């Protein structure tokens, strides 16, 4: 199984709807996760949650190098444990989703802010799919971006 050196890390900043603790690992929220009444999002924007027992929501995360490495199966196990799901329900098919996520994160340079949004397609049939992508902050100066995204955890 492929090993990854980068992970999506939380930054705690309520101004950007990021309520996970700084340094928490993030993964895409599932349909049972909630924003805990902390913020509202337009319908095409989704969010991440911290992979711990709190599962706090964050609209954005930052790509960071981690100590060591992680595989998609290890990430899936962490997510399942934080959701209190039985690890025997983990299939190779579901691990592919975590692999896809780690591929997207590891394709970006360190300190890159990332977001997750819904992409709606109407042709040839109506469907929605999640996209994990780089988030642009055009209203911030280079210094503000550096201060916000280039932190140690």
Predicted local confidence at residue 75, as pLDDT:
97
Rounded to 10 degrees, the C-alpha dihedral 130/134/137/142 comes to 160
pLDDT tens-digit series, residues 118-145: 999 888 889 999 999 999 999 999 999 9
pLDDT tens-digit series, residues 2-54: 999 999 999 999 999 999 999 999 999 999 999 999 999 999 999 999 999 99
Domain that holds residue 61: 3-150
Q: Measured between alpha carbons, how far is residue 111 from residues 28, 49, 95 in Å?
A: 18, 18, 26
Q: How many domains does the chain have?
A: 1
């Amino acid at each position: 199984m492929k090993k990854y050196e980068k992970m999506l890390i939380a930054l705690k900043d309520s101004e950007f709807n990021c309520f996970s603790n700084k340094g928490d690992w993030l993964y895409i929220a599932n349909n049972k996760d909630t924003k805990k009444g902390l913020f509202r999002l337009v319908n095409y924007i989704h969010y991440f949650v911290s992979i711990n027992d709190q599962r706090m929501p964050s609209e954005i995360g930052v790509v960071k190098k981690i100590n060591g490495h992680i595989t998609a199966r290890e990430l899936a196990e962490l997510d399942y444990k934080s959701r209190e799901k039985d690890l025997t329900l983990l299939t190779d098919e579901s691990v592919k989703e975590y692999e896809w996520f780690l591929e997207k994160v590891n394709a970006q340079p360190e300190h890159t802010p990332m977001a997750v949004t819904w992409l709606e397609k109407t042709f040839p049939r109506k469907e929605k799919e999640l996209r994990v992508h780089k988030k642009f902050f055009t209203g911030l100066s280079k210094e503000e971006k550096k201060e916000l995204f280039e932190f140690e955890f």
